[in-house]
Amino acid sequence: PRDEQKLLTRVFPGTHPTEAETAVWNQVSAVLEEAHGILAELQSYNGAGQEIREAIQNPSDLQLQEKAWNAVCPLVAKLKRFYEFSLRLENALRSLLEALTSPPYAPMQHLEREQALAKQFAEILHFTLSFDELKMTNPAIQNDFSYYRRTISRNRLNNQQLDAENEVNNEMANRMSLFYAEATPMLKTLSNATTKFVSENKTLPIEDTTDCLSTMACVCRVMLETPEYRCRFTNTDTMLFCMRVMVGVIILYDHVHPVGAFAKTSKIDMKGCIKVLKEQDSNSVEGLLNALRYTTRHLNDDSTSKQIRAMLQ
């Protein structure tokens, strides 16, 4: 649609907040600033696999036990930071959803009026999918954390209190376990937050939220498949940004909309979106296709066409 074409040329360049957007923009901006550091830390997360293996193979060697424990503790402190960041991200998303769906404007008007917030919403999704792609390919995270928990419970049986327990108490450890057990923990956090937002705002038509998401998916798809826009992408990062945002809004839409993103009545052109992903280099999109395969709710419903399912096989 022409409106969306118009939006395209403006949503993704450097957008500055208007006065009305400033309060929310500042809150989200503080969270996004932290996001870069979180990604860098996760990227360099190597885990304590070696130390853990040696400790397990030599259970009576106390020195090796201590070495493994000392290697794992700072890593668990990092994992706790990532988890706590997910809660701040959830609050930021909530503020953006409130701003981008509040009456009396339609979703399209909101995205026109609040371009700086729309850009931040896109940046949150970009971070989320980047985080989850890194987490999915790093088995050390869960190995480290389960070793940490096993060691703590073993020491409890022997009545030994460990310093690190002050860092991560039992309740926090349980919440972190659930978070890291998810294939895509950040995306799951945002999906739950969006679903909760819709169910708590009973007076807000659900379409206001889903139309905002489907419009963003359309904007990204058109940018990716239209040569005149694509030639403006100066580097692959911009392409990746668009692809991640597109997949992110599709997944949120699929969690929130009663019939989901894959049904014939969906406002998202799923065939077009999947096609555009499959045309890219497979190394850069495999994680995104997996996110569509494994973190959507309605892909395997009867209402999903065989053709769409075949495209994601």
Question: What DSSP assignment string belongs to 102-147?
Answer: -TTS-HHHHHHHTHHHHHHHHHHHHHHHHHHHHHHT-THHHHHHHH
Q: Is 47 helix (H, G, I), strand (E, B) or coil?
A: coil
Cα–chain-centroid distance for residue 5? 26
171-180 LR contacts (CB < 8 Å, sep 24+): 172/80, 173/148, 173/149, 175/83, 176/79, 176/80, 176/83, 176/145, 177/145, 177/149, 179/83, 179/86, 180/79, 180/83, 180/135, 180/141, 180/142, 180/145
pLDDT at 14: 53
Walking along the chain (313 residues) 10 residues at a time, the average pLDDT comes out as 46 66 90 94 96 95 93 94 96 91 76 81 90 93 94 72 65 94 92 90 84 86 78 73 90 92 91 91 86 89 90 88
pLDDT at 77: 93
pLDDT at 189: 94
ω into residue 104 within 30 of 0, thus cis? Answer: yes
Q: Which two tokens stand for residue 218?
A: 């359309």
This prediction's pTM: 0.85
Q: Which two tokens stand for residue 220?
A: 């990204």
pLDDT at 15: 65
User: Is 159 buried (19+), middle (13-18) or exposed (0-12) by CB count in 10 A?
Assistant: exposed
pLDDT at 233: 67
In sequence order, what are the residues at sequence separation of 6 or more whose Cβ sits closer than 8 angstroms to the Cβ of residue 178?
none
Contact 114, 18 (CB under 8 A): yes
Q: Please give the span between the terminal C-alpha atoms of the chain, in angstroms, as a whole number.
A: 30
pLDDT at 202: 82
User: What are the CA-CA distances from residue 198 to residues 24, 203, 206, 211, 288 (Å)?
Assistant: 19, 9, 6, 13, 25
pLDDT at 11: 47
pLDDT at 105: 77
Q: Which two tokens stand for residue 123?
A: 């940046």
Contact 233, 251 (CB under 8 A): no
Tell me the helix, strand and coil percentages in the chain, rounded to 5. Answer: 75, 0, 25
Which of these, 68, 47, 77, lies nearest to 150 by C-alpha position? 68
pLDDT at 171: 87
Instruction: Tell me which residue has tokens 């489907």.
Output: 214
Phi and psi of 201, rounded to 5°? -105, 70
Instruction: Tell me which residue has tokens 């002050």.
Output: 166
Q: Which residues of 99-132 are buried (b: 16+ CB within 10 A; e: fewer)?
A: bbbeeeeebbebbbbbbbbbbbbbbbbbbbbbbb
Identity of residue 52:
I
